[in-house]
Structure formats: structure tokens, C-alpha cells
Structure 1
Amino acid sequence: MMSSLNPDLVRALAGGAVIGLAAAMFVLLNGRIAGISGILGGLLRPVRSELGWRIAFLLGLILSPLAFVLFAPLPDVHVEAGKASLIVGGLLVGLGTRYGSGCTSGHGVCGIARLSPRSLAATAAFMLAGFATVFVLRHLAAAGTV
């Protein structure tokens, strides 16, 4: 008897494989880590010779949902947080990437693949902070505080 795979699991596995392949190809072809905060940060203090690939990379990230729509509909996204929470969250992520010397894509995808001790520690810290945040917010929401 053949069991069917959960479509969400298949999409998650395919997405992870594509992200891993893209990160590997980026480092092999470009000699650089595909850390989004570093790529974006490089545009804030541009070096002319690096401007083209940085813009192309970010345009690819922004435009890729248009290519995705050719194969499957975009998922419905429901954001329950208010604008103030989203702004504060975005600023905290930016601050964290600065103090953490990188973001989840740089540390979590590329750094772990290279077995970088700093990236292993950073990714563990990201995960623990995420778990703690969800735990606290869910309990505060259950208590009616948030």
C-alpha cells in the first residue's frame, strides 16, 4: 500500500532543496555567502564593481513570487499583528543582524552548511529567541495582556 505525502511537506522539502542549491551555487559561482543582510548592507555603502550582482540578487528575491505563480497559486497570508508590532519587529531584526554579524540566511543556511561554530551558535540563539518570543506572546495573549 502506498501512502500519499502531505503536499505541505513536499513543498517544504522542495523549497529547502532549492534554497540549499541556490546557496551552494552562489558560493561556488560567486565566491560569496548568500547572506541577505550582507548583500543588502552592501548596497547601503556601494562598491561600484559589486553593485550589479547585489541588485540582481535582490531583484530575484523580490520578483521570484511572480515565477512561483506560474506553477502554483500564492498562499493566502494573514497577518494578525498591528503595524506598530511589525515596525518594531523589523527594527529588532535589523538590529539583531547587525549585532549578530549576519542574518538567518547567512548563518542558518550558509554557515551551518560550512559547519561554522559562530553560525551554529547564532542559529541556536535565533531559534531559542524565537521559541521564547512565541511562548511569551502566546501566554500573554491567553492572559489577555496583548
Structure 2
Amino acid sequence: METVFTPIASLVGGMLIGLAAVTLMLLRGRIMGATGVLAGVLLPASRYDWTWRVLLLAGMFVGPWVYYAIAGQLPAIDVPASTPLLLLGGFLVGIGVTLGSGCTSGHGVCGMARLSPRSFAATATFMLTTGLTVYVIRHILGA
């Protein structure tokens, strides 16, 4: 499997995520952790709290279609894993998010920007685990 390096698209995407995180903090005083946002939709504290979360998730869903309207096509996405493996991965991520008290967007984008020691530790753990996983899958298992 070849990984395509896309510095411009990655930079623009990162800037948009950062802008969204700053805007949410400025307007609502809330951290933009994707799993926390989703959890608040499933178990809302109030109707007011539920509304902004649904709108944020709707924006995540609509975003690719805006890209499609501008570019005329969606980027090619190759997922070299079976559906059961993806479900298992999602389940394991859910456990990790629970144990880590947040996800990569909450800790890596928002927590580190707030200089949270817990977020620095969590992000270091995410990155080391990701690197180790890629190494094992590509170089030991040969996938």
C-alpha cells in the first residue's frame, strides 16, 4: 500500500479544523473533541447543548459534498480492511477514547493548544501507538 503525500490539502484541512475548534471555543466555550460531541448528541445535557452538537456533526457530513461541488469529484479512498475488522477497530477506538478521557481531536488539537499536560501525554500515546501499529502491520505482518 502506498501512502500519498498531500501537503496542501493537509495544510488546508488542518487550518479548517483549527478554525472550527477556535470558533467553537470562542462562541460556546466548548472543546471540539469529536467523540465528546457525538456523546453529547446521544446523551444530551440539554436541548441547547444538543442543537450545536447536531449542527457540528451535520457540518462534518456535509463537508465532503461541499468539496464535491467545488472539485467535481470526491477524493479516492481505499480502505484495505474488511467490515468486521473496521467494526473491531471502531470498538477498540471507543475503549481507548473512554480510557483516555477524549479523542485525538479533543486532546491533540484543543488540549495541546490549552497546554494541558494530560493532553500532551494522551497525544504522545496516540502517536507512539499509531507508529507502532503501522510498523507491525507493514513490516512484520507484511500487509
Structure 1 gap segments, 5+ residues each = 1-6
Query: Which position in structure 1 is the counterpart of 2:10?
Result: 12
- Aligned positions of 1:38-117 closer than 5 A: 38-47=36-45, 48-72=47-71, 73-117=73-117
Q: Does 1:120 align with 2:120?
A: yes
Q: With structure 1 as the length reference, what TM-score do the two structures score? A: 0.88
- Deviation larger for 132-141 or 107-116: 132-141
Q: What CA distance in whole angstroms lies between the structure 2 residues aligned with 1:51 and 1:61?
A: 16
* Deviation of 1:20 (Å): 0.8
Query: What residue ranges of structure 2 are gaps of 5+ in the alignment?
Result: none
Paired residue secondary structure (1:75):
coil
Give the C-alpha shift of residue 139 in structure 1: 2.7
Distance 1:89 1:14 in 2: 27
Give the superposition deviation at 1:118: 0.5
User: Structure 1 vs Structure 2: percent identity of aligned residues?
Assistant: 50
The 2-side partners of 1:21 and 1:55 are apart by 18
Indicate the SS of the match to 2:13: helix
Shift of 1:55: 0.9
> Shift of the alpha carbon at 1:71?
2.1
Aligned counterparts of 1:121 and 1:133: Cα–Cα separation in 2: 18
Amino acid at match of 2:61: I
Show the counterpart of 1:21. Answer: 19
- Tell me the TM-score normalized by structure 2: 0.89
Q: After superposition, give the CA deviation of every residue in 1:75-133 in whole Å (9 maximum; x if it has no partner).
A: 10111111121111000011110110000010011111111111011000000010111
Aligned alpha-carbon RMSD (Å): 1.5
Give how far 1:43 is off.
1.9
Q: Which consecutive segments of 4 or more residues in structure 1 shift more than 6 A?
A: none
How many residue pairs get aligned? The number is 137
**Secondary structure at 2:70 match in 1:** coil
